[in-house]
Structure 1
Amino acid sequence: MLYLIIGMSLLFLVLAFAVNTNNARYLLSGYNTMTEEERANFDLKGFLKQFKSFHIFLGLSFGIFGVLLFFQWGQNVVGWFLGLFPILAYLVFIIRARRYDHNPPRYSYWAIGALLVCIIGVSTLLIYGDQNIDFVVQDQKVHISGMYGADFEIDDIESIRLVDELPPITSKVNGFAMAPVFKGYFRTKAGDRVKLLVLSKASPLLYIQLKNGEELYYVPEDRSAEKEFEQIAIGRISNST
């Protein structure tokens, strides 16, 4: 996460100096599709001055605040920052940059609308990612809440054990992934499709394999999964007696 913050910060700083009057017609989105008449009604020099100042500010503020948030509050808060800060910054930039375009409004409203949709989508995803998961063992049944939760009988379990770490994960099939939180279906290095309900870096994790072949890894927030393992183990023992 820290490398991502630094990398994005440097990218914004590079953008500040990458676009100029000589290459704007090739690199600047929107301007490169204008007709010559439309370009004549566009204050390119004024826009590029703001473009440069904005990306210098964005690069420095993103790097400084991102690093401070990372060390002060951890990755969950940084996830919100990474997801929303650049989008909000670009929204303000697009609104302010409209004064340099003296053509009839065309794309700016679409761009603003698209950014607002992104803000809503990212916020929804982050809110879902922050939700806790209820793991309940009762009456020989296991209930796991949430979009990627599950309901199954203890008799449906083929094997159960505690493991120190996840298998190597190569890709996300469907779900939410923002370390240390992983929810949904993922693909392992061995090619297996597994369900992850991982809310922290705590260890050991609970591994459950059902008789239908589904594999599940679970660990709650800020503690290991030993409690859930003991509850299921007791249920299996009572079933066998």
Structure 2
Amino acid sequence: MLTAAIVLSVTFVLLGFLVTPGNAKYLLSGYNMMSESDRAKIDIASYLRFFTRFHIFLGISLFIGFWIINRFNSNWATAFMVLYPLLAYVYMVARGSKFYRGTSGQRSATYVVMAILVVAGVAIGSMFFASMKNSQIFLAPNELEIKGIYGMKIARDDVTYFAVTDSLPDISSRASGFAGGEFSKGAFKTDDGRIVKLYINKKIPSLPVY
């Protein structure tokens, strides 16, 4: 995850320098869809100075925050890496609206964008909270059930083979699941092309479920 944090941080810093007054009408989201009369209502030079400072600070603070939190808890560090930029963009949208001398409709659009970002943050935060909990295994007379996010049920009649192993298969990619912090859950693709289900807490010795 440290590599992902570095890449994300560098991307934000570079983004701050990517947009200039000369190319803003092509690259700046929202601004590139405006008419010339609406663009004239924006102090684009001042806004881009704010835009650059914001992204430089976001990139640096994201890496520092992730590095500090990761020393204590890798789960919270992963959640921070995803949620912090979303919440930061809520501030950017709110602060950026001050550079536009527009209509009440524009202010309403700003509130809508902010609300969407907040809702997305809450939804992603809830997903992280659910994913970073140990799965529970229940053995019933006719089935085995793994409860929790990406849980599953296996009927007794469907079990044709099982083996106890002290190692994981070589994983090439995640098919449909969650991998972050100490947890890996869901469907993963092995190097030899198989799709396997894994329920792993890296801090607690456990067995993979095939």
1:27-106 map, 5 Å: 27-73=27-73, 75-104=74-103, 105-106=105-106
Deviations 1:88-126 (A, max 9, x none): 001111011111111223442332132122112211210
Report the equivalent of 1:230: none
Q: Are 1:161 and 1:206, in contact at CA under 8 Å, matched by a contact in 2?
A: no
Shift of 1:3: 0.9
Q: Does the residue aligned with 2:90 lie in a helix, a strand or coil?
A: helix
Deviations 1:11-64 (A, max 9, x none): 111112221111111111111111110011111111111111111111111111
1:54-203 map, 5 Å: 54-73=54-73, 75-104=74-103, 105-106=105-106, 107-137=109-139, 142-152=144-154, 157-200=159-202, 202-203=204-205
- Tell me which amino acid in the other structure corresponds to 1:196: L
- Of the structure 1 ranges 101-110 and 1-10, higher mean CA displacement relative to structure 2 is found in 101-110
Shift of 1:198: 1.3
Alignment partners' CA distance in 2, 1:162 and 1:201: 19
TM-score for both structures, normalised by structure 1: 0.76
Deviations 1:162-192 (A, max 9, x none): 3233222233332222253121222222222
Alignment partners' CA distance in 2, 1:29 and 1:86: 17
**Rg (Cα) greater in structure:** 1
| Larger strand share, 1 or 2 | 1
Q: Are 2:176 and 2:188, in contact at CA under 8 Å, matched by a contact in 1?
A: yes
Shift of 1:140: 7.8
Q: Are 2:137 and 2:144, in contact at CA under 8 Å, matched by a contact in 1?
A: yes
Shift of 1:157: 3.5
Report the equivalent of 1:239: none
Tell me the number of residue pairs that the alignment of Structure 1 and Structure 2 aligns. Answer: 207
Q: Give the gaps of 5 or more residues in structure 1.
A: 208-215, 218-241
Between the aligned residues of both structures, percent identity stands at 33
Distance change (3 Å), C-alpha of 1:151 and 1:37: closer
- Tell me which amino acid in the other structure corresponds to 1:87: L
Alignment partners' CA distance in 2, 1:152 and 1:63: 42
Deviations 1:46-86 (A, max 9, x none): 1111111111111111111111112232x211111012100
- Tell me which amino acid in the other structure corresponds to 2:88: A
Deviations 1:179-232 (A, max 9, x none): 5312122222222221111122555x535xxxxxxxx34xxxxxxxxxxxxxxx
- Tell me which amino acid in the other structure corresponds to 1:11: T
Please provide the CA RMSD for this pair. 2.3
Alignment partners' CA distance in 1, 2:79 and 2:23: 34
TM-score for both structures, normalised by structure 2: 0.86
Matching of residue 26 in structure 1 with residue 26 in structure 2: yes
Q: Give the gaps of 5 or more residues in structure 2.
A: none
- Of the structure 1 ranges 11-20 and 144-153, higher mean CA displacement relative to structure 2 is found in 144-153
Q: Does the residue aligned with 2:37 lie in a helix, a strand or coil?
A: helix
